[in-house]
Amino acid sequence: MTLAAARIDTGDTAWLLAATALVLLMTPGLALFYGGMVRAKSVLNMLMMSFVSIALVTVVWLVAGYSLAFGDDAFAGLVGGLGQSGMSGLGPGSVHGSVPTLLFAAFQLTFAIVTAALISGAVADRAKFSAWLVFVPVWTLLVYVPVSHWVWGPGGWIVDRLGALDFAGGLPVEITSGASGLALCLVLGPRLGFKRDAMRPHNLPMVILGAGLLWFGWFGFNAGSALGANGLAAAAFLNTLAAGCTGLLGWLVVEQRRDGHPTTLGAASGAVAGLVAITPSCGTVSLLGALVVGLAAGVVCSYAVSWKFRLNYDDSLDVVGVHLVGGVIGTLLIGLFAERAMTGGAEGLFYGGGLVPLGRQLLAVVAVAVYAFGVTYGLGRLLDRVMGFRASEEQEHTGLDLTVHAETAYDHGVLGHGAPVSHSVPAGSAQKVKAQP
Amino acid sequence: MKLITAIVKPYRLDAVKTALQELGVQGLTVTEASGYGRQRGHTEVYRGAEYRVDLVPKARIEVVVEDAVADEVIDAIVSAAQTGKIGDGKVWAVPVETVVRVRTGERGPDAL
């Protein structure tokens, strides 16, 4: 991001307003993507884990998160200061580059929201909702906020000091959510019946709808990260489209050869894997690079999702197999495919940049993955000890929708389900109704 | 009187219905059912993970007829439902003591 202009540009601002709304839509899209993949008895709980993240992360971001991530560096490129807590000192006239600072803060906020929501896929069907409500804001402050400072904050150690590249958030979004998902599913343990019962997606059209909304929002995510209505945004936009397509096709080819059928879940998963991988690299690689990045993610991730059965950890909806693995692929391939025409300087191995850029990318990946995994594992264990992180066996058997939210998503029966046992009509009104003819 | 129950492939339901209508059978009850016989279901694949689905969707047809036509009805159902492939289903008959038409109170064969 460049801060040279210091004057609001209406074109840039208009595009970033739209991009911010697009990225926010990714979270309800993710809710549908995940919701369709769980069993019918827990779909509402799955939707809620994403939806409530919008509210939780927004509050914590405005109170302290933004300042800690994007405030002036407070310590060695690791964390920002508290000077802008509660957005203090920021008003309609504040400028970040060529856009209002408040808009930049909102744009970054939508990234923090979807990242927290992504983790829920690893603990689907068995996490305690109350523990999730505590986990999300604490995790955002302890993991997302520092890592986004490392990558995008002024003086952050990964981009400003180490010189690694990450255009739209492969490190803070994909790798933190993937590594944290792995940590949480280890804390919670496998679902009841893991590897024994068929845990089939209950609504694949909903999965495709969710994947479509994610893809739509992803254009705001990646092209918006140019922070301007310009050629770089256009290039990132096209790279995003290209990688989603080759990811989808790559996954389908693997399925056809391995299982004999190209599936809808595979198409949706492949597109998402390609989009994950192009997130860090969409502003640094050429179109040819984007096609390769997406294809690599589609092929590798379709194999990676089976790790959970071999290694015996229950990552319910494959947050590790798609987001961690896809994020690692996209971030590392920058070291091979980065092009001067896109980056304005840095080049990858294939364009004469040598091995150094690849080494920087690798160091950044390892540091972020280890940090996110370690802190999340510790936080998860602490919450489990203090309040319990796993739903009771009865809740899990019956389904979290009915036991936690007192609702069910579908009513298939032709038989009635009884009269209301209580309602919120004021006392005495029943009498009035009775008195009417 | 006999209660004839047939478990057939759902897509053969229309053919069975037509065959029974041609025989003059007055009414029938159809229920969505699931189950398995010797073939034990099918396999579904989700992100490369294979799930063995034992219970296969079936249509359950029930019809009560007079003893004299029971065999004819069974034959009609079998020939309409038969595809020759695995999973075609089963048909069985059991004796029925009483039938009452709820609307009129008629009993026995008159109620059919």
Domains of chain B: 2-111 (3.30.70.120)
Task: Give pLDDT, residue A424.
Answer: 64
Taking CB atoms and an 8 Å limit, are B46 and A201 in contact across chains?
yes
In 3D space, the residue among A136, A139, A118 whose CA is nearest the CA of residue A128 turns out to be: A136
- Residue A213's identity, in one-letter code, is L
The lowest-confidence range among A146-150, A432-436, B62-66 is A432-436
Task: Measure A264 CA to nearest chain B CA, in Å.
Answer: 9
Q: Which residues of A touch B50 (CB under 8 A)?
A: 259
Q: Which residues of B touch A200 (CB under 8 A)?
A: 44, 46, 51
Residue of A nearest to B47 (CA): A266
Q: How confident is the model over A136-152, as a mean pLDDT?
A: 98
Token pair 């197999």 in the structure block, residue? A321
**Number of inter-chain CB pairs under 8 A, A vs B:** 33
Mutate to test the interface with A, among B45, B47, B54 (most CBs of A within 10 A): B47
Q: Is some CB atom of chain B closer than 8 A to the CB atom of A302? A: yes
Taking CB atoms and an 8 Å limit, are B47 and A200 in contact across chains?
no
B92 in Cβ contact with B80 (< 8 Å): no
Q: Is B85 helix (H, G, I), strand (E, B) or coil?
A: coil
A417 pLDDT more than 90: no
A353 pLDDT more than 80: yes
Q: Which CATH number fits domain A9-386: 1.10.3430.10, 3.40.50.2300, 1.20.1250.20, 3.90.1170.40?
A: 1.10.3430.10
What is the Cα gyration radius of chain B?
A: 17
Task: Measure B6 CA to nearest chain A CA, in Å.
Answer: 23
Average pLDDT in chain A = 93
Task: Give pLDDT, residue A198.
Answer: 77
Task: Measure A212 CA to nearest chain B CA, in Å.
Answer: 18
| d(C-alpha B31, C-alpha A85), whole Å | 63
Q: How confident is the model over A190-203, as a mean pLDDT?
A: 90
In chain B, which among 50-109 make CB contacts under 8 A with chain A? 50-53
Please tell me the pTM assigned to this model.
Answer: 0.87
Residue of B nearest to A266 (CA): B47
Q: pLDDT for A248-300, tens place per residue?
A: 999 999 999 999 999 999 999 999 999 999 999 999 999 999 999 999 999 99
Residue of A nearest to B49 (CA): A306
Taking CB atoms and an 8 Å limit, are A255 and B52 in contact across chains?
no
A6 pLDDT more than 50: yes
Task: Give pLDDT, residue A2.
Answer: 44
Taking CB atoms and an 8 Å limit, are B46 and A305 in contact across chains?
no
Q: pLDDT for A367-398, tens place per residue?
A: 999 999 999 999 999 999 999 999 999 999 99
Confidence class of residue A423 from pLDDT cuts 50, 70 and 90? low
DSSP letter at B55 equals P
Among B45, B47, B51, the residue with its CB nearest the CB of A269 is B47
Task: Give pLDDT, residue A1.
Answer: 45
Q: Which residues of A touch B48 (CB under 8 A)?
A: 255, 258-259, 302-303, 305-306
Task: Give pLDDT, residue A428.
Answer: 55
Q: Which residues of B touch A266 (CB under 8 A)?
A: 47
A210 or A418, greater pLDDT? A210
B57 pLDDT more than 70: yes
A437 pLDDT more than 70: no
Q: How confident is the model over A106-115, as a mean pLDDT?
A: 98
Q: How confident is the model over B13-17, as a mean pLDDT?
A: 94
Q: Using CA of residue A127, residue A130, residue A135, residue A136, what is the dihedral sign?
A: positive
In chain A, which among 231-290 make CB contacts under 8 A with chain B? 255, 258-259, 261, 263, 265-266, 269
A429 pLDDT more than 60: no
Q: Which residues of B touch A309 (CB under 8 A)?
A: 49
SS3 helix, strand, coil % of chain A, rounded to 5? 70, 5, 30
Taking CB atoms and an 8 Å limit, are A259 and B48 in contact across chains?
yes
Task: Give pLDDT, residue A415.
Answer: 64
Task: Measure B47 CA to nearest chain A CA, in Å.
Answer: 6
Task: Give pLDDT, residue A345.
Answer: 83
Token pair 């990676």 in the structure block, residue? A304
| d(C-alpha A326, C-alpha A319), whole Å | 10
Q: Is some CB atom of chain B closer than 8 A to the CB atom of A17? A: no
Residue of B nearest to A321 (CA): B47
Taking CB atoms and an 8 Å limit, are A198 and B53 in contact across chains?
yes
Long-range contacts of B15-20 (CB under 8 A, 24+ apart): B15/B80, B15/B81, B16/B61, B16/B76, B16/B77, B16/B80, B16/B81, B18/B80, B19/B76, B19/B77, B19/B79, B19/B80, B20/B63, B20/B73, B20/B76, B20/B77
A270 in Cβ contact with A248 (< 8 Å): yes
A330 pLDDT more than 90: yes
Q: Is some CB atom of chain A closer than 8 A to the CB atom of B47? A: yes
Confidence class of residue A90 from pLDDT cuts 50, 70 and 90? very high
A436 pLDDT more than 60: no
Mutate to test the interface with B, among A263, A310, A312, A318 (most CBs of B within 10 A): A263
Task: Measure A178 CA to nearest chain B CA, in Å.
Answer: 18
Torsion (CA) B65, B71, B76, B78 in degrees, nearest 10 = 110
Taking CB atoms and an 8 Å limit, are B46 and A309 in contact across chains?
no
Going from the C-alpha of A348 to that of each of A134, A160, A415, B65, the distances in angstroms are 41, 18, 65, 81
